């Protein structure tokens, strides 16, 4: 397992947690006076918390289980789209705070570099860190605006409330921050993103540690995700072409071969390793989201949903063979995706994260669980490329991409399994699919079956990662959650609860609340 080499930041800079929303660096901090020290500062410029747990429960990937064994307040609040109460690990407030901590680190790094820029030229030995810091700032604000603000729509972005876009290091405690607008936040993200891309250097870090920092593949996948939300599909295509300098099938995760032969204890550490060629950016994050007991939460994956999504012909009716050969594995039964917990078919656990423990001290026996979380991978880049090709009318290329994808997902995949236009249109026409994708941009009629297919496959590929919630937002699709045998609640396309309420701590610091 590969871990980020975390430098002891306390030897460089003392963080005083006077305000957990945005923290202040004291004036007697050590001087950051070398590229190496700036690089060490950037180790903590990536979010050290994750959003998967609450995004997963908000989406249509979670359901009420008939035999709920474990209750959890954040899981319940997310499923019912309520304002969140808890502020601990794996909660929205925890993620918000950790995001702004990461932004603070990026801003301190930029503050060290910017005085060295002369006539627009960044010193060569600082250039890679300059690009990395800008990308860190862009990505973290991007995640915040896509959780706490309305979905991007050019017609309303000028008036929709954004999130505070912080560009300077803290110098005072409890500084007041304006939220700006979605339009202004996206403009700032794009400026940081495009500039950061110019200064990337894949060789600023050695070996597999490159996958723990922004690199060409991860940054261009991020750019593709950004422009897919803005509906600029030519730019999506342009950036994904920079990702796939090798044939895509050389980069995808080997689910139907290597992974299908593994038990859960082998698969967990492999999934988040930087040595996995599909993993473009991996970062350690404080989380319990890998633990078995998350599979037993009241709202999650049950047997019925599991079989609907993952059994049979992969749920797409494009190919006759099962998704992955079934096997009996240590920890439960597996079809290549989900393990039931101790033989309980009501509780499923997805083996998608490796983890380690950060100890409280050198001789401590206790500490905090940390997952090795894959923020960007080859699968997302491939899906984004296919989406752009569909929107630009290149349908044969989409089918070719699907064949590449299925060749790494379907057991015994062969030429007999090739995706045909007839099969795809039959399964994913508007009448059969019933997804009713409704983004702000127009989807050509001929492209709709392809977008329906990709929308469905992304749900399966990124299950348990929270990615589905962002697709629900950008395509403005409703979500239906069961609350009882004969009762349900619905989150409509224009429901204000699609924007998480601003955390209590941030509201106390003066950040404007979301309307309800």
d(CA 512, CA 472): 25
The DSSP 8-state label assigned to residue 311 in this structure reads: S
The secondary element (H helix, E strand) that includes residue 199 is none
Residue 441 has pLDDT above 60, yes or no: yes
Tell me, what's the pLDDT at 156? 98
**Angle, in degrees to the nearest 10, between helices 421-428 and 395-406:** 90
Give Cα 358 distance to the centre of its chain. Answer: 22
Q: 3-state DSSP call for residue 132?
A: helix
CB of 199 within 8 A of CB of 130?
A: yes
Lowest-pLDDT range of 57-66, 359-368, 386-395, 473-482: 359-368
d(CA 102, CA 268): 26
d(CA 330, CA 327): 10
Over range 435-449, report the average pLDDT: 97
Residue 331 has pLDDT above 60, yes or no: no
Percent of the chain's residues with pLDDT above 70: 84
Q: Would you state the structure tokens that stand for residue 147, as one six-digit string?
A: 């959780």
Residue 454 has pLDDT above 80, yes or no: yes
**Angle, in degrees to the nearest 10, between helices 216-230 and 182-198:** 150
Tell me, what's the pLDDT at 147? 98
Q: Would you state the structure tokens that stand for residue 93, as one six-digit string?
A: 């407030």
| Interval 76-131: pLDDT, tens | 999 999 999 999 999 999 999 999 999 999 999 999 999 999 999 999 999 999 99
CB of 131 within 8 A of CB of 108?
A: no
d(CA 233, CA 231): 6
pLDDT category, 14, cuts 50, 70, 90?
A: very low
d(CA 482, CA 96): 28
Tell me, what's the pLDDT at 368? 84
Over range 140-165, report the average pLDDT: 98
- Higher pLDDT, residue 76 or 317: 76
Tell me, what's the pLDDT at 301? 85
- The pairs formed by 302-307 with CB atoms below 8 angstroms and a separation of 24 or more are 302/63, 302/65, 302/66, 302/346, 302/347, 302/348, 303/340, 303/345, 303/346, 303/348, 304/63, 305/61, 305/63, 306/338, 306/348
Residue 296 has pLDDT above 60, yes or no: yes
Q: Kindly report the backbone phi and psi dihedral angles of residue 83, in degrees, each rounded to the nearest multiple of 5, phi listed first.
A: -65, 135
pLDDT category, 293, cuts 50, 70, 90?
A: low
Residue 8 has pLDDT above 50, yes or no: no
Over range 170-195, report the average pLDDT: 89
The class level of CATH for 9-63+72-349+378-508 reads: mainly alpha
CB of 176 within 8 A of CB of 132?
A: no
Cα Dmax for the chain: 69
Over range 443-465, report the average pLDDT: 95
Residue 56 has pLDDT above 50, yes or no: yes
Tell me, what's the pLDDT at 209? 84
Over range 60-79, report the average pLDDT: 87
Residue 384 has pLDDT above 90, yes or no: yes
pLDDT category, 355, cuts 50, 70, 90?
A: confident
d(CA 38, CA 213): 13
d(CA 305, CA 346): 10
Residue 98's region, left for phi above 0, alpha for psi from -120 to 50, else beta, is alpha
* The 338-341 sheet, strands edge to edge: 327-329, 332-334, 338-341, 344-350
Tell me, what's the pLDDT at 12? 32
Residue 501 has pLDDT above 70, yes or no: yes
Over range 338-347, report the average pLDDT: 53
Handedness of CA 109, 110, 115, 120 (dihedral sign): positive
Burial of 17 (0-12, 13-18, 19+ CB in 10 A): exposed
| Interval 215-268: pLDDT, tens | 999 999 999 999 999 999 999 999 999 999 888 999 999 988 888 888 777 888
Which residues, 6+ apart, have CB-to-CB distance to 487 below 8 Å? none
Cα–Cα distance list, 83 to 54, 285, 479, 494 (Å)? 12, 23, 17, 17
Among candidates 190, 149, 189, which has minimal Cα distance to 165? 189
**Which residue intervals of 410-501 are DSSP H helices?**
421-428, 430-433, 448-461, 467-474
Tell me, what's the pLDDT at 297? 84
Q: Would you state the structure tokens that stand for residue 382, as one six-digit string?
A: 């491939």
Residue 68 has pLDDT above 70, yes or no: no
CB of 296 within 8 A of CB of 69?
A: yes
d(CA 68, CA 483): 12
Residue 22 has pLDDT above 50, yes or no: no
Cα–Cα distance list, 93 to 8, 16, 362, 504 (Å)? 26, 19, 29, 8
The DSSP 8-state label assigned to residue 292 in this structure reads: G
Average per-residue pLDDT in the chain?
85
pLDDT category, 357, cuts 50, 70, 90?
A: confident
Tell me, what's the pLDDT at 46? 98
Over range 268-280, report the average pLDDT: 92
List b or e across 25-52, with b for residues whose CB sees 16 or more CB atoms inside 10 angstroms: beeeeeebeebebbbbbbbbbbbbbbbb
Tell me, what's the pLDDT at 1? 39
Residue 6 has pLDDT above 60, yes or no: no
Q: Which residues pair with 138 in a beta bridge?
A: none
Residue 386 has pLDDT above 90, yes or no: yes
Residue 436's region, left for phi above 0, alpha for psi from -120 to 50, else beta, is left
d(CA 62, CA 56): 7
d(CA 27, CA 206): 33
d(CA 483, CA 127): 53
Q: 3-state DSSP call for residue 482?
A: strand
């Amino acid at each position: 397992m590969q871990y980020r080499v975390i430098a002891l930041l306390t030897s460089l800079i003392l963080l005083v947690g006077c305000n957990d929303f945005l923290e202040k660096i004291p004036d007697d901090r050590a001087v950051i006076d070398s590229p190496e020290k700036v690089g060490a500062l950037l180790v903590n410029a990536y979010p050290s918390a994750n959003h998967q747990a609450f995004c997963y429960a908000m989406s249509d990937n979670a359901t009420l289980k008939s035999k709920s064994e474990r209750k959890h307040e954040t899981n319940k609040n997310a499923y019912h789209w309520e304002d969140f109460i808890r502020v601990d690990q794996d909660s929205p407030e925890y993620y918000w705070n950790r995001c702004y901590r990461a932004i603070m680190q990026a801003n301190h790094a930029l503050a060290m570099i910017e005085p060295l820029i002369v006539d627009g030229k960044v010193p060569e030995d600082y250039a890679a860190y300059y690009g990395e810091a800008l990308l860190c700032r862009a990505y973290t604000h991007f995640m915040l605006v896509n959780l706490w603000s309305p979905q991007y729509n050019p017609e309303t972005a000028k008036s929709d409330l954004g999130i505070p876009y912080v560009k300077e290091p803290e110098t005072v405690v409890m500084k007041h921050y304006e939220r700006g607008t979605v339009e202004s936040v996206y403009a700032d993200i794009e400026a940081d993103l495009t500039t950061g891309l110019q200064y990337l250097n894949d060789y600023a870090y050695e070996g597999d540690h490159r996958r723990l920092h922004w690199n060409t593949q991860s940054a261009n996948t991020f750019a593709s995700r950004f422009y897919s939300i803005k509906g600029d599909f030519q730019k999506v295509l342009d950036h994904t072409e920079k990702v796939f300098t090798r044939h895509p099938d050389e980069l995808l995760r080997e689910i139907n071969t290597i992974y299908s032969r593994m038990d859960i204890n082998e698969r967990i550490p492999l999934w988040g390793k930087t040595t996995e060629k599909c993993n473009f950016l991996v970062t350690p994050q404080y989380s319990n989201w890998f633990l078995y007991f998350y599979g037993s939460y009241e709202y999650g994956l049950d047997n019925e949903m599991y079989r609907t999504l993952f059994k049979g012909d992969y749920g797409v009716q494009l190919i006759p063979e099962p998704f992955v050969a079934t096997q009996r594995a240590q920890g439960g039964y597996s079809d290549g995706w989900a393990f039931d917990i101790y033989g309980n078919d009501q509780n499923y656990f997805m083996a998608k994260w490796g983890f380690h423990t950060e100890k409280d001290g050198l001789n401590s026996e206790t500490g905090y669980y940390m997952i090795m979380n894959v923020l960007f991978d080859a699968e997302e880049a491939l899906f984004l490329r296919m989406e752009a090709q569909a929107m630009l009318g290149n349908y044969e290329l989409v089918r070719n991409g699907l064949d590449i994808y299925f060749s790494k997902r379907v057991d015994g995949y062969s030429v007999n399994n090739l995706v045909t236009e007839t099969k795809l249109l039959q399964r994913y026409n508007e009448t059969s699919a019933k997804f009713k994708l409704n983004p702000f941009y127009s989807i050509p009629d001929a492209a709709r079956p392809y977008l329906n297919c990709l929308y469905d496959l992304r749900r399966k590929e990124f299950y348990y990662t929270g990615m589905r919630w962002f697709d629900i937002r950008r395509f403005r699709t409703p979500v239906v959650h069961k609350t009882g045998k004969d009762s349900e609640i619905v989150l409509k396309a224009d429901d204000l609860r699609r924007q998480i309420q601003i955390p209590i701590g941030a509201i106390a610091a003066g950040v404007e609340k979301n309307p309800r």
